[in-house]
């Protein structure tokens, strides 16, 4: 189905957790499969940092970010479930974000775009689900940054879903991961074109954004995968200070390709939302927040994930267990590291299915 756009928060603005508000929020979304008569087969898919509302595409030569996971008899079975996916608040793929026109000024928000949190993103998703007339979700599912959204759904709307699946994501981002985000942010902010975020009338901070993306890519994969793919091979025509090795050429290509599809301000905002995400926000402590969860919660960890390290996944597992959450936990190694949840279908299929299927008819 084609991408659709609606405008929400037209009557009342969304008051943001970190201050400020937004109204007339555009939300771009896509659906797959058919909502059944009982309206109990809807599943919300939450995208990761640089994803969009299109996990699957049936156009030729075009693929969504979960293309190989979705379809008849696959982990996300479109003949059985009705899937909804929307671009996040603060993004740049159709939903209101820093590059959008501020309806109150007629100019792009740029530096004036307010800080958004996972909690705000989830409130916009909930408004979309309300708009679609869906009163209960069979599951909320996401990987990485999407896993944080899924967790927050279970805390904020505990009666609204049967299942939550969180892939490759811990409850909070680690000091090390915040450090990588800090380096990426400073690369963008220090780009001579950044202009405090108000670059929409001039050149965008492309070099800074490409550098940030290259660093991101390194945290998404593993040394083993890069060794297999590139090793120490050099390019036929090498450039001593540029792309001398194949792995450099690959990273440079990824950095350049990213410029076509992502806005630097959106990247900054969503990186910060990753850092800041804390399920305990607004609660006395983490346990109080997690105790609200009624859904079955499936947590799937990759032991050699270099962004969400396994130590943090273990801490998350313990915290969920201590809060009495009905937890299903899996862990396994994948050469793809953090990106496994996007590319290593075989490793995830059965685990996702067990997270989606296990509770049908049991939990309500």
Give 2 or 236: the residue with its C-beta nearer to its own copies. Answer: 236
* Long-range contacts (CB closer than 8 Å, 24 or more residues apart) made by 246-252: 251/214, 251/217, 251/218, 252/210, 252/214
Phi-psi region of 94 (alpha: psi -120 to 50; beta: other; left: phi over 0): left
User: How far is 226 from 80, CA to CA, in rounded Å?
Assistant: 37
Instruction: List binders of its own copies among 109-128 (CB under 8 A).
Output: 115
* CA of residue 86 relative to chain centroid, distance: 11
Asked if residue 58 binds its own copies (CB under 8 A), the reply is: no
| 123 known member of a binding site | no
- The interface region with its own copies, picked from 73-81, 96-104, 216-224, 294-302 by CB under 8 A, is 216-224
Q: How many residues bind its own copies (CB under 8 A)?
A: 54
| 339 known member of a binding site | yes
Give 22 or 268: the residue with its C-beta nearer to its own copies. Answer: 268
User: How far is 64 from 70, CA to CA, in rounded Å?
Assistant: 9
Shortest Å distance, C-beta 206 to its own copies: 10
Q: Is 359 a catalytic residue?
A: no
- The interface region with its own copies, picked from 97-105, 178-186, 324-332, 356-364 by CB under 8 A, is 178-186
Asked if residue 183 binds its own copies (CB under 8 A), the reply is: yes
Shortest Å distance, C-beta 202 to its own copies: 15
**Spatial CA neighbour of 172 closest among 313, 323, 61:** 313
Give the DSSP per-residue string, 10-43: SSSPEEPTTS-EE-SEEEEEEEES---TTS--EE
> Which of 71, 103, 245, 353: binder of its own copies (CB under 8 A)?
245
Compute the C-alpha angle 256/258/263, nearest 5°: 120
String of contacts with its own copies for each residue 257-276, x by CB under 8 A = -----------x---x--x-
Asked if residue 190 binds its own copies (CB under 8 A), the reply is: yes
DSSP state of 142: E
Sign of CA dihedral 88, 90, 93, 94: positive
> Which of 136, 207, 292, 314: binder of its own copies (CB under 8 A)?
207
Give 43 or 247: the residue with its C-beta nearer to its own copies. Answer: 247
Compute the C-alpha angle 200/206/212, nearest 5°: 120
> Which of 139, 211, 273, 274: binder of its own copies (CB under 8 A)?
211
How many other β-carbons are positioned within 10 Å of the β-carbon of residue 223? Answer: 12
Q: Residues comprising the binding site for substrate?
A: 213, 339
Q: Which residues bind its own copies (CB under 8 A)?
A: 115, 172-180, 182-183, 185-187, 189-192, 207-208, 210-211, 214-215, 217-218, 221-224, 226-227, 229-232, 240-241, 243-248, 251-252, 268, 272, 275, 278, 309, 311-312
Catalytic residues: 144, 305, 338
């Amino acid at each position: 189905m084609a991408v659709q756009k609606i405008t929400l928060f037209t009557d009342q603005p969304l008051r943001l957790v970190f201050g400020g508000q937004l109204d007339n929020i555009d939300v771009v979304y896509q659906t797959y499969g058919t909502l059944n008569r009982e309206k109990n087969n809807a599943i919300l898919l939450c995208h990761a940092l640089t994803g969009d509302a299109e996990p699957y595409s049936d156009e030729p030569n075009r693929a969504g970010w979960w293309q190989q996971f979705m379809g008849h008899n696959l982990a996300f079975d479109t003949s059985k479930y009705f899937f909804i996916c929307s671009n996040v608040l603060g993004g740049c793929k159709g939903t209101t974000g820093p590059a959008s026109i501020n309806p109150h000024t007629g100019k792009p928000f740029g530096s004036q775009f307010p800080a958004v949190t996972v909690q705000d993103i989830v409130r916009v998703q909930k408004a979309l689900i309300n708009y679609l007339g869906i009163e209960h979700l069979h599951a909320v599912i996401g990987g990485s940054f999407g896993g944080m959204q899924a967790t927050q759904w279970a805390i904020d709307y505990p009666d609204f879903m049967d299942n939550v699946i969180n892939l490759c994501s811990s409850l909070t981002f680690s000091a090390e991961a915040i450090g990588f985000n800090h380096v990426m942010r400073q690369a963008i902010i220090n780009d001579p074109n950044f202009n405090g975020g108000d670059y929409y009338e001039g050149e965008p901070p492309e070099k800074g954004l490409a550098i940030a993306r290259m660093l991101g890519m390194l945290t998404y994969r593993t040394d083993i995968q890069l060794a297999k793919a590139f090793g120490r091979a050099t390019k036929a025509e090498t450039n001593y200070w540029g792309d001398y090795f194949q792995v450099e050429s690959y990273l440079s290509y990824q950095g350049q390709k990213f410029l076509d599809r992502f806005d630097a301000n959106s990247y900054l905002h969503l990186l910060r939302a990753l850092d800041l995400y804390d399920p305990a926000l607004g609660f006395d402590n983490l346990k109080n927040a997690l105790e609200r969860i009624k859904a079955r919660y499936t947590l799937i960890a990759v032991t050699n994930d270099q962004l969400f390290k396994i130590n943090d996944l273990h801490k998350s597992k313990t915290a969920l267990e201590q809060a009495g959450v009905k937890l299903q936990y899996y862990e396994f190694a994948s050469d793809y590291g953090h990106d496994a949840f996007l590319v290593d279908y075989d490793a995830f299929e059965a685990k996702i299915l067990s997270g989606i299927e296990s509770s049908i008819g049991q939990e309500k």
